[in-house]
Amino acid sequence: MNAAVTWSNNAFYVAAGYYDYSLADATLNGLGSAMKLSAMATFGGFKVAATYEDQSGDGNFLAMDTANLAGMFTMGNHQFALSYSMYMADGSGTTLDVNEDCSMIGAGYFYNLSKTQAVKVVYNQIENDSLSNCMGRMSASSASHALTSTANGNSATGFQVQMSSSF
Amino acid sequence: MNKKLLTLAIGAALASAPMFANAALTAYGKLNVGVAYIDNGNDIVGEGSEIVVTDDASRLGFKGEEDLGGGLKALYMYELGIDVDNGGDNAGTTGTGGIGLSQRDAYVGLGGGFGTLRIGQYNTAYKGVSIPTEISAIPSLTSRPTASRVRRARRTTSATPRRPSAVSSSVLSTRPAPRLELTPPRPIR
C-alpha cells in the first residue's frame, strides 16, 4: 500500500509519500514502512529542490535514511546544476552488521540545442566512509552504469558527456 | 440524380457515425546516450577505471485518450524501455532477451468526475513524490544506490544477498505488480 499527497503552485511544490512494505509483498514483511518528503521552489531562473526519505528497519532489515539537496540555474539555453546527497544505513543490533555513511556531489552543465535536443555534461563523486561502498548513478534516472567503488572507503568519480534526443 | 444519391449516402454515413471524438494517439520517446569515464577508486592496474557507453532510461511510448461522452473518457498508455548500450532488459540483467526492450508504464483506464481509474502496471504515487524535484541528469543517492545494489545482488550466485535491504528498497523505485488504482479527480491544493 502506498499513498502520496502533493501541493503545488507556480513557484512551490511540496509532497509527502508513505509506503507500507508489509502489504506490498509478503516476502518483505520484515521491513515496516518508508516515508518520503519532497519540496521544490522556483525563483526566476533558479530552482532549488530537496528530498528526504526514511526507511524503517525491524531488526532483520536495515534502517536507511537518504537526503538530497539540488539546485539549478537556467540562463537561456544554458543550465547549471549542483547536487549533494547523503546516504546513511544503520544495521546496529540486526543480523546485518552494516553501518554505512556516504555522500555524493554532482555538478552538471546542460546546453539545449533545441526544445528536444540537448547536450549534458556531468561530473559526480562519491565519498565513502571506511565501512561503506555506496553505488550511485551517472544520471538522475535509471542509468545503465553504476558509479561505484570496488572497496569500502574508496571514492569513486565519474565524468559523462551525454546527448539527449526526444520527440 | 446520382450526385444527389451520393450526397445522401455520405450524409447518412456521417449521421450514423458515433458521436465520439477519435482517439488521439501520441507517440513519444527519448534517447539519452552518452560516454562516461568512471574511476572506481581502485589503484590496481586494469581495475581502476573504465570508459563506457551509457544509456539513461531511453524509452518509446504510446498514449492517448478518447472522449466517450457524458464526461467520461477512455485512456491508455504503453511505454517501453530501450536499453541502448547492452541489448539486455532495463532491469539490469545484461544480455537477456537481446532485444533491449523492457516494459515501463502500461495501463488502460477511465476518467471522469469520479477521478481516474487505471488498470495495469505503472509507477506508484510514492515514487512520484520526488520526481518533480529531480534535477535533470544530476544524480541523487535518494533511492538510487540501493537500486544499483539490487543489480549487483541479482548478478551474484549467492543465495543470500549481502544486503537484503537492497531488495526491499527496489520496491520503492520499481513498478509493483499489475493493479487497479483510483486517483481522485483533482489534486489537493
Q: What is the mean pLDDT of residues B105-113?
A: 91
Give the mean pLDDT of B161-173. Answer: 36
CA-nearest of A15, A26, A22, A16 to A1 is A22
**pLDDT of residue B25 exceeding 80:** yes
Contacts of B129 in chain A (CB under 8 A): 4, 6, 15-17, 36-38, 51
A122 and B137 within 8 Å at the Cβ level: the answer is: yes
Per-residue confidence band for A62, with pLDDT thresholds at 50, 70 and 90 = low
pLDDT band at A13 (very low <50, low <70, confident <90, very high): very high
Contacts of A34 in chain B (CB under 8 A): 126, 172
Does the distance separating the beta carbons of A55 and B165 come in below 8 Å?
yes
Supply angle C-alpha B112, A4, A11, rounded to 5.
90
- Subunit contact A7:B189, Cβ cutoff 8 A: yes
- The interface residues of chain A toward chain B in range 62-101, judged by CB-CB distance below 8 A, are 62, 64, 66-68, 70-72, 79, 81-83, 85-87, 89, 96, 98
Contact B148 A79 (CB under 8 A): no
Taking CB atoms and an 8 Å cutoff, what residues of chain A touch B172?
Answer: 19, 34, 53, 55
Domain ranges of chain A: 43-165
A95 DSSP assignment = S
- The more confidently predicted of residues B132 and A80 is A80
Interchain contact, A158 vs B83, CB within 8 Å: no
Higher pLDDT, A154 or A59: A154
Is the model more confident about B51 or about A28?
A: B51
Rounded mean pLDDT, B29-34? 91
CB contact under 8 A, B141 and A98: no
Q: How far away is chain B from the Cα of A46, in angstroms, using its nearest Cα?
A: 12
Among B residues 84-123, those touching chain A with beta carbons less than 8 Å apart: 84-86, 90
Architecture field, domain A43-165:
Beta Barrel (2.40)
Band (B169; pLDDT cuts 50, 70, 90): very low
pLDDT at B94 over 50: no
B137 closest CB neighbour out of A47, A55, A139: A139
| Minimal Cβ distance to B138: which of A25, A55, A83 | A83
pTM for this structure? Answer: 0.74
State the residue for C-alpha cell 526492450: B101
b vs e for A11-43, b when ≥16 Cβ sit within 10 Å of the residue's Cβ? eebbbbbbbebeebeeebebbbbbebbbbbebe
- Give B101's strand partners: B82
pLDDT at B86: 66
Mean pLDDT for the stretch of residues B21-39: 84
Distance of CA A65 to the CA centre of its chain: 11
Given pLDDT bands bounded at 50, 70 and 90, which one contains residue B110? Answer: very high
Mean pLDDT for chain B overall: 66
Task: Choose from B96, B136, B171 for mutation: most chain A CBs within 10 A.
Answer: B136
Strands A46-55, A33-43: parallel, antiparallel or unpaired by DSSP? antiparallel
Residue B142: pLDDT band (50, 70, 90) is very low
Q: What is the 3-state secondary structure (H, E, C) of chain B?
A: CHHHHHHHHHHHHHHHCCCCCCCCCEEEEEEEEEEEEEECCCCCCCCCEEEEEEEECCEEEEEEEEEEECCEEEEEEEEEEECCCCCCCCCCCCCCCCCCEEEEEEEEEEEECCEEEEEEECCCHHHHCCHHHCCCCCCCCCCHHHHHHHHHHHHCCCCCCCCHHHHHHHHHHCCCCCEEEEECCCCCC
Average pLDDT over residues B118-140: 76
Closest CA to A104 of A78, A80, A132: A132
Q: Among A37-41, A112-116, A158-162, B19-23, which stretch is predicted with the lowest mean pLDDT?
A: B19-23
Question: Between B164-173 and B144-155, two packed helices, what is the crossing angle to 10 degrees?
Answer: 120
Q: Give the H/E segment covering residue A105.
A: strand A99-112
Cell 477512455 identifies what position?
Answer: B74
- Specify the pLDDT at position A154: 79
pLDDT of amino acid B174: 57
Q: Is the pLDDT of residue A152 over 80?
A: no
Verify whether the Cβ–Cβ distance A98 to B163 is below 8 Å: yes
- Residue numbers of A between 107 and 166 with CB closer than 8 Å to B: 107-108, 110, 120, 122, 124, 134-151, 154-166
Reading the block at residue A3, the C-alpha cell is 499513498
A109 band by pLDDT with thresholds 50, 70 and 90: very high
A59, pLDDT greater than 60 = no
